[in-house]
A = this chain, B = another copy of it.
Amino acid sequence: MVIVMKDNATTEQIEAVEKKINASNLKVHRVDGAIRTIIGAIGDPSNVDSREFEDMDGVLNVVRIMEPYKLCSRTFHPENSIIKFNGLELGGDRIIVMAGPCSVESEEQIFEIAQKVSQAGATILRGGVFKPRTSPYAFQGLGMDGLKIMRQAADKFELQIVTEVLETNQIDQMYPYIDIYQVGARNMQNFPLLRALSTTDKPVLVKRGMAATIEEFLMAAEYIMSGGNYNVILCERGIRTFEKYTRNTLDISAIPIVKKLSHLPIIADPSHGTGKREFVAPMARAAVASGADGLIIEVHHQPEKALSDGPQSLLPEQFQRLIEELKVIAWAIGRTI
Contacts and interface: CB of A to CB of B under 8 A. Distances in A.
B241 A260 contact: no
A112 interface: no
Nearest to A327: B332
Interface string A44-73: 101101011011100001010110100000
A204 B243 CA distance: 24
A31 interface: yes
A31 B40 contact: yes
Contacts of A56: 304
Contacts of A46: 135, 137
Nearest to A71: B136
A132 B192 CA distance: 8
Q: Copies of this chain, how many? A: 4
A222 interface: yes
B285 A189 contact: no
Interface string A296-315: 00000001100011111000
Interface in A114-147: 132-138
- Determine the interface band of chain A, counting residues with CB < 8 A from chain B: 35 or more
A266 interface: no
A136 B222 contact: yes
A38 B135 contact: no
A275 B62 CA distance: 14
Contacts of A312: 51
A97 to B, nearest CB: 16
B253 A253 contact: no
Given A31-B42, A55-B303, A311-B51, A286 B277 contact: no
Given A243-B214, A290-B285, A51 B275 contact: yes
A4 B38 CA distance: 14
4 closest A-B pairs by beta carbon, nearest first, are A211-B211, A328-B332, A286-B286, A285-B289
27 contacts: A27-B34, A29-B38, A33-B42, A34-B42, A46-B135, A49-B308, A49-B310, A51-B310, A52-B310, A55-B303, A68-B134, A133-B191, A135-B222, A136-B191, A136-B223, A137-B226, A166-B191, A209-B211, A211-B211, A211-B240, A213-B243, A243-B251, A249-B253, A260-B278, A288-B289, A328-B331, A329-B332
